[in-house]
A = this chain, B = another copy of it.
Amino acid sequence: MNKRGLILVISGFSGVGKGTVVRRLMEQYKQYALSVSVTTRPPREGEVHGKDYFFISEEEFSVMEAEGRLMEWAGYVGRHYGTPRDYVFERLDEGKDMILEIEVQGALQIKEKYPEAILVFVAPPRAAVLKERLLGRGTESVEQVEKRLLRAVEESESMGAYDYLLINDDLPTCVEELHQIMQCEHRKMRVNGELLDDIKLDLKRFVEGE
């Protein structure tokens, strides 16, 4: 299997539990690391620079964008968010599979620029489950939940562009399936050029040495 890390883009409706899936995946397997986004919004209470986000100015953001140092970016209520290319690629070189937990528009940007990225969409077994989970958080009003559900309907129109569909019914199963997808992606011929060359060379040398 190849040593270099792969880019895993994970999206899903709000409330589907993708954050929990990602956290569990990283707890169970050391090969994964989570990308840290840059943002121009100010840090909230308790947020740590370089852990939750890289907090940067609008000017710094513009420079990064202009220099092609953002893998994807988006604006949201007057603030900007983006995925820093160098942060991700340095860790890919170290052999980490880099997880980008981003929304649909960002995911599509990634797929266009980095077609080798693996896009996984996490869906609930039924829409009703989504609502239960959102209400179960206890932090959101019924109106906010309604809004998120409407957004899910919108997002569902872009699901077809993803590589894999994962149903988060049972959490451990979902984590295991996601890990298996990544294991299989590491066995793809196109990421194993080096191993392929080794096999060819070994075979040739062996036959010539006979």
Contacts and interface: CB of A to CB of B under 8 A. Distances in A.
Interface of A: 13, 121, 123, 126-128, 130-131, 146, 149-150, 152-153, 156-157, 159-166, 177, 180-181, 183-185, 187-189, 192-193, 195-196, 199-200, 202-207, 210
Given A181-B184, A187-B177, A203 B164 contact: no
B195 A152 contact: no
Residue of A149, A160, A189 contacting most chain B CB atoms (<10 Å): A189
Closest 8 CB pairs of A and B: A127-B206, A184-B184, A127-B203, A156-B200, A127-B202, A165-B192, A164-B187, A149-B207
A131 B181 CA distance: 33
Contacts of A156: 199-200, 203-204
Main secondary structure of the interface of A (DSSP, over half): helix
Contact of A166 (B123, B164, B187, B200): B187
B187 A126 contact: no
Contacts of A149: 203, 206-207, 210
A181 B187 contact: yes
Nearest to A120: B187
Contacts of A159: 189, 196, 199-200
A9 to B, nearest CB: 13
Contact of A203 (B153, B180, B185, B200): B153
Contact of A206 (B131, B162, B183): B131
17 contacts: A121-B189, A127-B199, A130-B203, A149-B203, A149-B207, A156-B200, A157-B200, A160-B196, A163-B189, A164-B187, A165-B187, A165-B189, A165-B192, A166-B187, A177-B183, A180-B183, A181-B184
